[in-house]
Amino acid sequence: MHPLPEALPIAPSSIRVIGLVKFAAAFAVAGALWWLSGPMDVLSEVLVIFGMSGLLELLTGVSTGAMARRWDTLKPWQRAVASLLVILAVIGFFLAVGAVILRLNG
């Protein structure tokens, strides 16, 4: 099976700009919806997910499609290890933020 070709070769700096635009636009619209309607509805949650994909493109310089194709080429055990590391990093981030908040408040 042949790997999927890139649709258009885009420079990482251009991908970062596209990611920044996605991130800013999605969170601006989600914030406006939240401000207008109160609690987040399904549309706002979808916008937040779209914004997070833009943030990922902004930080890595790799398009979401290219990252998905690379992820699909990993062996199952490699996916499991990478997923575990991502989950542990997210938990560590939230624990660190919580510790800072507790430290500042008390």
Burial 31-56 (b: 16+ CB within 10 A, else e): eeebeeeeeeeeebeebbebbebbbb
Query: What CA–CA distances, in Å, run from 46 to 27, 28, 36, 89?
Result: 10, 13, 17, 23
Mean pLDDT of 7-25: 81
pLDDT of residue 41: 66
Predicted pLDDT at 89: 93
pLDDT at 91 over 80: yes
pLDDT band at 95 (very low <50, low <70, confident <90, very high): very high
Average of per-residue pLDDT across 89-106: 90
Q: What is the mean pLDDT of the chain?
A: 84
Digit-coded pLDDT (tens) for 29-75: 877 877 777 666 677 778 878 888 898 899 888 888 898 899 899 99
